[in-house]
Amino acid sequence: MYFSAKEILAQLDGTDMRICDLVIKNETEISEISREEIFSMLEERYQIMYNSAHDALEKEIRSLSGLTGGSAKKMWEYYKKGSSICDNTIIRGAAYALSCLEVNASMGLIVAAPTAGACGILPGSLLTVAEKYDIPHQQVLEALATASGIGQLIVKKATVSGAEGGCQAECGSAASMAAAAIVEMLGGTPAQAFDAAAIAMQNIMGLVCDPVAGLVEMPCAKRNASGVANALVSADLALSGIFSEIPFDEVVEAMYKVGKALPSSLRETALGGVATTPTALAMKEKIYGNQETSSCTGNCASCGGCN
């Protein structure tokens, strides 16, 4: 068992084991299932991630609310032109991330990694890097195990819930998971993986959760696209030898404290941030009708009645 990055690094010290190896070993012990069964489950999740990352690239998928859709297709077409300002690795990953969010918003099948609102960051980052470097499939599945280990630590010490910790807890955790997974997949050390995870979390410390109309669509989709860039840059920083001066465990604890300090209006209630701008409120009224003549409280995320 392990409850912190410090404990994991101590257990790995002096061995040639990686984070993924310890995660898989731990899972076989606590769940009493075989290594083969674990990889079967990882494969199942990989296939769902792959499909959701590709389903909206060639065809426009609209959300049930009608607020969003078609962005993944536009980004994919932009990627194929090869004229982006950013390196095409980031653009490809952003297209994958947008596709995942559009599949989610249309009630399609995704992997909450770690949440539905952040479901595009891990597949967008991991699939892109794996394709760029032609990584063997087994290593990609192992990287998913690494990501799950990072997610486990965040849940044990803090939260991945936007309602509890803001979007930093959702997109921040997803970027941390992705950054660490990429580092290990590319041969980085466990210490470098935790450095990448810590850097990614610090990069968006304090990010609020303010879904327009209480729906996991806007600005969630674009934050997933930028979350891919965060994960990739953080992985590159760590692989270059740059380390996080603040250890991963302390960063996670700080994130939790920041999340608790955020007012409820900035934690997924749709009562603050961009969710209360005139344009956002007009979108909300178009979906739900006039609040003054309905029983709706406007606290969409906590109600869920319209979904």
- CA distances 174 to 30, 56, 171, 220, 290, Å, are 24, 21, 5, 13, 36
Give pLDDT, residue 290. Answer: 74
CB 53 within 8 A of CB 76: no
Separation CA 9–CA 177 (nearest Å): 16
Backbone angles phi, psi at 295, to 5 degrees: -85, 0
Tell me if 47 sits within 8 A of 36, measured CB to CB.
Answer: no
Can you say whether residue 14 is alpha, beta or left, with left for phi > 0 and alpha for psi between -120 and 50 degrees?
Answer: left
Quick one: average pLDDT of 31-49?
A: 98
Give me the helices (H) in the chain, please. 5-12, 19-31, 35-54, 71-81, 88-105, 121-132, 137-157, 162-165, 167-185, 190-203, 220-239, 248-261, 278-288, 300-303
pLDDT digits (tens, 9 = 90+) for 161-212: 999 999 999 999 999 999 999 999 999 999 999 999 999 999 999 999 999 9
Share of the chain above pLDDT 70, in %: 94
Read off the tokens for 136: 């063997």
Nearest-CA neighbor of 128 among 180, 89, 183?
A: 89
pLDDT at 305: 47
DSSP letter, residue 133: T
CA distance 279 to 284: 9
User: For residue 253, what are its two tokens?
Assistant: 């604890």
pTM greater than 0.75:
yes
* Distance in angstroms (rounded) separating the CA atoms of residues 192 and 184: 8
Tokens 């959300």: give the residue. Answer: 63
Which of 237, 113, 103 has the alpha carbon at shortest distance from 178? Answer: 113
pLDDT of residue 38: 98
Architecture of domain 5-303: Orthogonal Bundle (1.10)
- Classified as helix, coil or strand, 296 is coil
Whether the per-residue pLDDT at 294 is higher than 60: the answer is no
Q: Which of 88, 78, 39, 40 is nearest to 57 (CA)?
A: 78
Mean pLDDT for the stretch of residues 300-304: 50
- φ/ψ region of 268 (left if φ > 0, alpha if ψ in -120 to 50, else beta) reads left
What are the φ/ψ torsions at residue 218 (nearest 5 degrees)?
-135, 120
Each domain of the chain, given as residue ranges in start order, spans: 5-303
106-115, 191-200, 207-216, 286-295: the lowest-pLDDT one:
286-295
Work out the pLDDT band at 232, boundaries 50, 70, 90: very high
